[in-house]
A = this chain, B = another copy of it.
């Protein structure tokens, strides 16, 4: 039975990669850079996007929101007049704990790709499964909140290894926590040597200029086809 399960998982991942490549081809045709944004529940993905996407200069940004249930996050982004589409994994997808390439594909008709330079896909809050499913993105970003403890890279290594940028959020809370920032960064470096890191507080705005710069560079860089 265990072997069967492994085979089912492998087939599902292969099918996912095929659809991810189709998504990527559509993104490339439209000239959109796509960022897959991942974190634990409540690490601050939506707050970060609220702060980052309004100040991107000439870069036209849109958001695809993944959530198990509800449109709370999509409503927050829409309030900023940023184009947003929503995937609810509870409806038709069985309450999945991650986005996969097929879910993203099913939402693409609602995303005005030709009017965008940058599309951020906000994944379901989860430090495990989202890292296993490519959705056709160019880049992967994860947010680690300082309230989650220094040990998370060691406990969820795939997520920290799979991403191109680690954003350490909620640094305004550091004076109120028993949290060793150097220890977190040491653990990040141990599981993903050389990965880019940004320290921010999405709430106070500290360090957010760096996030905006990173996103602008991602949107205008010479894009490598899939």
Contacts and interface: CB of A to CB of B under 8 A. Distances in A.
Interface of A: 1-2, 5-6, 8-9, 12, 15, 40-42, 67-70, 72-73, 92, 94-97, 124-129, 132, 145, 147-149, 151-152, 154-158, 170, 172-173, 176-178, 203
Given A128-B68, A173-B173, A203-B178, A152 B41 contact: yes
Given A68-B155, A152-B41, A173-B176, A94 B6 contact: yes
A149 B42 contact: yes
Contact of A41 (B40, B70, B72, B73): B40
A91 B95 CA distance: 25
A173 B178 CA distance: 11
Contacts of A203: 178
Contacts of A127: 41, 125-126
Contacts of A126: 97, 126-128
Nearest to A44: B149
4 A-B pairs with least C-beta separation: A42-B148, A97-B128, A147-B147, A40-B41
A126 B84 CA distance: 26
Contact of A173 (B70, B147, B149, B154): B147
